[in-house]
Amino acid sequence: MKKQIVNYETLLKVTRAISHSKDPEEVVLLTTESIKTVLEVKGCAVFLINRKTEELELAASYGLSDEYLNKGPISALKSIAASLEEGPVAIYDTSDDPRIQYPEAAQKEGISSILSVPIVSAGKVIGALRIYTAEKWEFTLDDVNFVQAMAQMTGMAIEMARQYKGRKDSIEILKTMRDPQFIASRRRTPYEGVPVSFSTKELG
């Protein structure tokens, strides 16, 4: 029960952030940090689809190393692709699952399980919210529902920002996303290789 109460408090916190902020960066960074803290997992990341390259490009993360985040291009067609087409996908063992694009990198990072949930904006899949655990994790329905709710709020924040900023590309709006752990020291220094453009066409 305590965990459910914390989850509700987190949802309210993010909802307030969306309603009071026109900056999606604040909302998405809050989302990644909140999920990691509430679920007590290793890390959390938000990726957006670059439709020109069909790659998932990092928008924000919390708890993951730069080495892991820069392991190589993430293919939307190879990296847990079903989560972008069919809904949430849980990977119990990253060392023995063909849906993982970089199993060696996951093992080196100490990642055992992954939950990937689609991010939807204006009815279109635009990316994925993923959580990473250090121990093999049997994700419960409550876990999945909570992460889905956070992913929906992330999509809402992106859509609201697009409307506020004249419907510019979501990628352009989010290009300054960075890991909250480095805010104090790096301030507004973004990750290298940030997303540059995408269309909101659904995966075919």
Give residue-wise pLDDT tens across range 133-151.
Answer: 999 999 888 889 888 988 9
Query: What are 6-41's pLDDT values in tens digits?
Result: 667 777 777 776 666 666 677 778 788 888 888 889
The CATH number given to 2-186 is 3.30.450.40
Q: Are 50 and 196 in contact (CB under 8 A)?
A: yes
pLDDT band at 105 (very low <50, low <70, confident <90, very high): very high
What's the pLDDT score for residue 186? 36
pLDDT score at 182: 38
Band (158; pLDDT cuts 50, 70, 90): confident
Q: Is the pLDDT of residue 93 over 50?
A: yes
pLDDT band at 112 (very low <50, low <70, confident <90, very high): very high
Indicate the DSSP class of residue 203.
Answer: P
The answer to whether 77 touches 71, Cβ cutoff 8 Å, is no
Neighbours of 6 (CB within 10 A): 15
Q: How many helices and strands, by DSSP H and E, does the chain display?
A: 8, 6
Q: What average pLDDT does range 74-87 have in this prediction?
A: 90
User: Rounded to two decimals, what is the model's pTM?
Assistant: 0.75
Integer Cα distance of 7 and 172 in angstroms = 30
| Spatial distance between the Cα atoms of 104 and 15, rounded to a whole number of angstroms | 37
- The residues spanned by each domain of the chain are 2-186
Residue 145's CB: how many other CB atoms inside 10 A? 13
